[in-house]
Copies of this chain bind each other. A is one copy, B any other.
């Protein structure tokens, strides 16, 4: 399993008893990311058994309350839990000032450092990279400065063909590293064995694109093209496309059109307006344009 997305909250605007604002937990290539953090996210993490300590990087799409009002509580709790490792926070300009002021007035002192990465570019940019994963922004169009995030695994190493290796009787464990990165092997008699005979193709790197909140914005298509999994907000159905336009949100149909144009493998929609009492209509509307489409629901996991 390379990529697992857990929905912690998927509704818009105001938290209700069984409708939590946006928060997602992403496991990708052994990295653990939190995406958005509406009020109550730390409770949702406990409910769905998401470990607090594994998360070192939190990505906040924009500074509307339903996407970040839970951040200060989570940070405060990490302090109480005696966290010591740095916590990196990526989000729009202003996130550092507002977080620090809350920590100051509540006299919250902890043993770990907050490292803020404030975003202001209107172009897609690389904001995180390690040896396994990188993250780029997806500039969105909302009432405030907003980014989606594209999480991409780095090219995996080749898998060893142990049967073929054993047959040669000349390859040692210390040679594995160069085989995994694609090098051919030269035998003691000078003969070269092509790498393809000693290894299998690695699994294709996986990508997850998170796009919330945004109006219909086809120019994100080149950034998210061929993603394995796309989450795209669908606050309204097409019956209220006027309201979607006015509030800079999307309809289920528009989310599906983006998925289709980007030729992604699978679409998840969410951020439902509270005016809709049932969610199946969102799936039905989207499915006319694109398939497969899934509804984000609290606790649901998507595994690629």
Contact = CB atoms under 8 A, between A and B. Distances in A.
Given A43-B16, A77-B14, A105 B95 contact: yes
Interface stretch (A65-73, A159-167, A198-206, A219-227): A65-73
Residue of A97, A98, A104, A108 ringed by the most chain B CB atoms within 10 A: A98
A97 B100 CA distance: 12
A106 B144 contact: yes
B65 A69 contact: no
A43 B46 contact: no
Interface in A36-87: 39-40, 42-43, 46-47, 63-65, 68-70, 72-73, 76-77, 80-81
A97 B101 CA distance: 9
Contact of A102 (B42, B46, B98, B144): B98
Interface of A: 13-17, 39-40, 42-43, 46-47, 63-65, 68-70, 72-73, 76-77, 80-81, 92, 94-95, 97-98, 101-102, 104-108, 143-144
21 contacts: A14-B76, A14-B80, A15-B40, A15-B42, A15-B43, A15-B77, A16-B43, A16-B46, A39-B40, A40-B43, A65-B72, A65-B73, A69-B73, A69-B102, A94-B104, A94-B105, A97-B101, A98-B105, A106-B144, A107-B143, A107-B144
